[in-house]
Amino acid sequence: MPEDDVTRVAFHSIFGVKQLRGYVELHLNDKIASRWDIQKAKEIHYMLGAAIEAAISDELIVKFLTDKVGLPLEAAAMALRDFRELRQGSKDTVYPH
């Protein structure tokens, strides 16, 4: 991927003097994209961690199905879709609208 196409992501802690509260800012390409209170930042932290673990699991499942079971990639992808639905609980979670 060319360097120009890479989105730079950074997080900063800030303090709201008027609110007397700490916040977390998300910066994309040096611009503030979002600002969250601590509770929301913790929720996003949890969701990101869960997504990372799911992505690792997806890779391992497809690798296992193609390398060990011998499924073609297309069949492994279909099996992964079914597994995701079981893991996440609904088709709406797997295929968000």
Task: Please tell me whether residues 18 and 29 are part of one structural domain.
Answer: yes
Task: Please tell me whether residues 66 and 33 are part of one structural domain.
Answer: no
Give this prediction's pTM: 0.74
Q: Are 32 and 10 in contact, with CB atoms under 8 Å apart?
A: no
Task: Please tell me whether residues 20 and 51 are part of one structural domain.
Answer: no
* Range 65-92 average pLDDT: 90
* Range 59-70 average pLDDT: 97
Strand duo 9-16 + 21-28: pairing = antiparallel
Domain interval for residue 20 = 3-38
Judged against a pLDDT cut of 50, whether residue 97 lies above it is answered with no
* Range 73-91 average pLDDT: 89
- How many domains does the structure of the chain reveal? 2
Task: Please tell me whether residues 34 and 46 are part of one structural domain.
Answer: no
Task: Please tell me whether residues 87 and 52 are part of one structural domain.
Answer: yes
Comparison of pLDDT for 27 and 85, the residue scoring more: 27
Task: Please tell me whether residues 51 and 34 are part of one structural domain.
Answer: no
